Structure 1
Amino acid sequence: MGKDQRTRKYATMKRMISLRDSRIKKENRKPAKKPAQPKEDQRIKKHEVPKYSSALFFKYNTQLGPPFYVLLDTNFINFSIKNKIDIFQGLMDCLYAKCVPCVTDCVVGELEKLGRKFNVALRLMKDERIERLPCIHKGTYADDCLVDRVTQHKCYIVGTCDRDLKRRIRKIPGVPIMFITKRRFTIERMPDAFGAPKV
C-alpha cells in the first residue's frame, strides 16, 4: 500500500488572533519580547578605580612634613602606656621632628566606654599638648572615623596596633602607619623616617 498523498488544507484551518494584536484588551495582551542581553563574558566590565588625591606625587605624599600630625587609636595609646613609652618623646625619637598627636572624639568616647581600667589613658588624652579633633558623624566607632578622616585629608600619620585597621589603611595610598615594636615606635610606608624598618 502506498502513502496517503493528501495534503493538509491550510485555508480551512481556524484562524487565531495573535496575543499581541491591538484589538485585544491590554490586560490580556502578551508582553513584547525584550531584546536579548549579552552574556556576562561579552559585557564590558566596569571597574571602579579610586581617584588619586592631588596630595600624591608619584605615590609620594607631598602633604606630609614637619610638624607631623599623628592620629592616635585607642589600642596605640593603651599599648604605649603598657610598654611605658612616653608618647611625645616616642614620636620625636621615631620621626626626628616636631610631632602633634591628635585624638578624635570617637577615640576619647571609646576610652570612656572601656571603664575605670583605662583612666590613665583618658587622663593622658586630656593633656593640652594633644590636639582634639571634633567628629560630626553619628556613633563612636573609632576605626571608621579614622579611615574616613585619612581618606579625606592625607596630612596624617595613623598610630595603631590593630591588624584590621592597618589592613584597611594600607589600601589608602600615601598614608603611613605607626605602630609599636620592641618597646619603641616604628613607622611603615615612610622610608625617609628614622624609625622606618630597613629593607
Structure 2
Amino acid sequence: MISVFFQLSKKEWLKSIVTAFLFGGTVFFLFIIYLVTAFFIEQDTPDTWADHLTIPKNIQIDNPVDMEFGGRLEDMKPDSITNRVVTKTEFQLYNSFQPGLYEYDFWVGKIESGKIYLKAFEITHNEALSDDRLARSSSLYIYNPTDSIMKFGTSDHFTIYEGDWGKPYAGRFEVWFKPDNGKKERKLFSKNYKIEGWMR
C-alpha cells in the first residue's frame, strides 16, 4: 500500500492502479484460502458432544422409521406406517436421507386450529436439542373439527445438530400446540427415540 501512495504522489496513475489491484487481489486470495482451510479443519474436527452419553435401559425408547426412496429419489414415508389405522393420539419420527435429519407424523383427535411444533431433549441430562431452530423448522398448521383421528405430517426434514453420525443417544420429542385463539400453549404428546446428530 505504501508503494501505491508513493506512485500517486509522483502522479504515476497507471502504476498506482495496477499496484492497488494486485494488492487487493492478493488480500482477497489469501482470505479465500483462509476460509477454505477453516472449513476443512472444522469438518475434520470430530464432534465429541455425544461421546459420553448413555442410552437408558429402564425406559421405552423407539427407533425412528427409515424413509423410503421414491422413483424420483425423493424421500417417502413408508405406507405401512402412514396408512395404518390409528385410534389415539400418536407421534412417529422418521429418519430422512442422512443421520440427524428427520421428519414426523402426528395423529390427533378433535382440536382447534393452531400450530404444532417440536421440542427435543437429550434424556439423561434433559438438555434441549437444536433449541434455536427446531420450533420453526418442525412447525405444522393443524385443525381437526371432527371426532375422528387425523394425521398431520411434515413434507420436509428438520435437523438435530447435537452429536454426530454413528454416535446414537436417547432423545425425548415433545409435541407442543399453539392455538390460534391466543390461549396458552400446551404439550400434546411426548415420545422417546434413539437418534443421531447431523455431521456438519
Report the structure, 1 or 2, having the larger strand content: 2
Question: Normalising to structure 2: TM-score of the pair?
Answer: 0.28
Q: Please identify the structure whose Cα radius of gyration is greater.
A: 1
Question: Normalising to structure 1: TM-score of the pair?
Answer: 0.28
Report the structure, 1 or 2, having the larger helix content: 1
